[in-house]
Structures are given as structure tokens and as C-alpha cells.
A and B are shown apart, each in its own frame.
Chain A
Amino acid sequence: EVQLVESGGSLVKPGGSLRLSCAASGFTFSSHNMHWVRQAPGKGLEWVSSLSGRSNYIFYADSVQGRFTISRDNAKNSLYLQMNSLRAEDTAVYYCARDFDYYSSGTYYKGIDYWGQGTLVTVSS
């Protein structure tokens, strides 16, 4: 069974830093791209960042570019999100999520097929 378990969320002051972790199990972690997606209280989903299985491709949303760093340790089946210079608008539940590929007629389609339960980050003084 695929499991993704996030940890590390807490209350932090504006300008502070936090590191989120995600422990993966039930699948070959190194074979999958991974994502972080967040959801502010009462709001919709916002994709934050993704990286490839070997960490050679990394992408960020404009809203976190230069402040957040995604990384992974395939030996530990773990995904991380280092968040610096935190702002009130970064307050959200952060989900760790697994990428999937679907191949059809010469095209790879991508999406997110498994999600963790989320960890809450609150940025407030």
C-alpha cells in the first residue's frame, strides 16, 4: 500500500524557516517524481514544487521560487521542503504527493495519484 506521511509543520514567525519531511513507503520511491502541493485555509489547491526521481529536474511555482528548496533522499525514501523567508501567505496545509505517468499513443500524460494527509504550516507573529 502506498503511504506518504508528512511531518514538520508548526507555527513560525514571518521571516522564519521550516523544513517539511515526507516519508514514503509501499512503492519504489526513486522511480517517481514527487510534488509538494499546498492549500491555504478555506482556499483551493496550489502546486508548489516538484522534482524528478534522480533530482535532476526541479521546478517551483513563482510564488515560492528563491525561498523554498525541494530535495529528496532516495536511500531514506524521503522527500523534503526547506522553506525560508516565510510569509503569512505561506500559511497552508502542505501535501506531499506522488507523480504518475500514463503513456498513450506516443504521449506521456502526468498527474498526481497519491497524496499524504498533509501537515499544517502557520506563519504568524
Chain B
Amino acid sequence: DIQMTQSPSSLSASVGDRVTITCRASQTISSYLNWYQQKPGKAPKLLIYAASSLQSGVPSRFSGSGSGTDFTLTISSLQPEDFATYYCQQSFSTLFTFGPGTKVDSK
């Protein structure tokens, strides 16, 4: 199975900060990488697919980059509604796997 790791596991940031989350795959996955946002008690929400494509309706402050094994999710200017947990997920394999998550909270 393809293993996904994320760093950091948590971070504290302020509104307006630039936030970067890293995701790494245990083998090359080309651009088969998606990012999700989850708030407490809610279902996840798709933010980025195919490593860098912004899902419809998602603010442009969110962006994704990377290919192969190393990927990045960037929030250019953190907004109050962005405090949440972020997960990467690979779809290179038919057995999807998620990263362990990165919790973004208020400094």
C-alpha cells in the first residue's frame, strides 16, 4: 500500500498568515494527489484535486503544487474560516490512502 505522511502534524497561525502544509508519498504517485479540509463534526470538503487544480467554489487563496512524491498545500492569507484539519489523499492506487492530517489552529 502507498503510505502518506504530512508535516507538520499541527501548526498555530494568525489570520493573514501564509500557511504551507507538506505531504509525502511512499512511492511516486505522479499528480494523483488531492487535498481535503475538515472542520470538527463535519464531513471533509475537497479543496484541490490532481495536485494543483482548485475545486469549484474553493477560494483562490488555496493552492496546491508538487508531483512525484512531494506535494504542498498553501493558504496564501489565512482566514478565520480556514482553521481546520487538512488531509492529503492519493488516488494513484485503487486503494486510496489519506495522510494523517495537519491541524491548523489559532495562535
Interface of B is mostly: loop
B72 on interface, CB distance cutoff 8 Å: no
Partner of B98, one of A47, A60, A116, A117: A47
> Number of contacting residues on A, CB 8 A?
26
Q: CB-CB contacts of A101-117 with B at 8 A, as 1s and 0s?
A: 01010010111110111
Question: Are A109 and B43 in touch, CB under 8 angstroms?
Answer: no
Question: Are A117 and B53 in touch, CB under 8 angstroms?
Answer: no
> Number of contacting residues on B, CB 8 A?
26
Question: Are B96 and A47 in touch, CB under 8 angstroms?
Answer: yes
A-B contact pairs, 29 of them (CB 8 A): A35-B96, A37-B98, A44-B87, A44-B98, A44-B99, A44-B101, A45-B38, A45-B98, A45-B101, A47-B97, A47-B98, A50-B96, A59-B95, A102-B50, A102-B53, A104-B50, A109-B31, A109-B32, A109-B49, A111-B49, A111-B50, A111-B89, A112-B44, A112-B96, A113-B46, A113-B49, A113-B55, A115-B45, A116-B43
Interface residues of B, Cβ cutoff 8 Å to A: 1, 30-32, 34, 36, 38, 43-46, 49-50, 53, 55, 87, 89, 91, 94-101
